[in-house]
Amino acid sequence: MYEQEKAFLICCPELPFANVRTSDSRVDKYATVNVDKKRYSVPTGYVGFKVKVLLGVDEIAIFFK
């Protein structure tokens, strides 16, 4: 059966699939960042600044630009 279906299979992509979503956000007056309907706290010194958010399957990373 494999030999019959072999012609219909597609190749694997050359680039690996990235399961990380990126977005930009602004730190609110409560020193939190709203990501995917959840709030994450950041240091108070970043209030009002834009940050870059990397949202993965099992972790979130917030970077100051």
- Residues 35-58: tens digit of each pLDDT: 989 999 999 999 999 999 999 999
Total domains present in the chain: 1
CA distance 57 to 36: 12
For residue 39, being part of any structural domain is answered with yes
Q: What is the extent of the structural domain holding 46?
A: 18-64
Is 23 contained in some domain? Answer: yes
Residue 54 belongs to some domain of the structure: yes
| Residue 10 forms part of a structural domain | no
Q: What is the pLDDT of residue 42?
A: 96
CA distances 53 to 10, 19, 20, Å, are: 33, 14, 10
Q: How many CA atoms lie within 13 A of 62 on its CB side?
A: 17
33: pLDDT strictly greater than 80: yes
- Number of neighbours of residue 33 by Cβ within 10 angstroms: 21
Q: What is the mean pLDDT of residues 5-32?
A: 91
16: confidence class by pLDDT, cuts 50, 70, 90: confident
Tell me whether residue 7 is in a domain. no
Q: Band of the pLDDT at 13, cuts 50, 70, 90?
A: confident
| pTM, 2 dp | 0.69
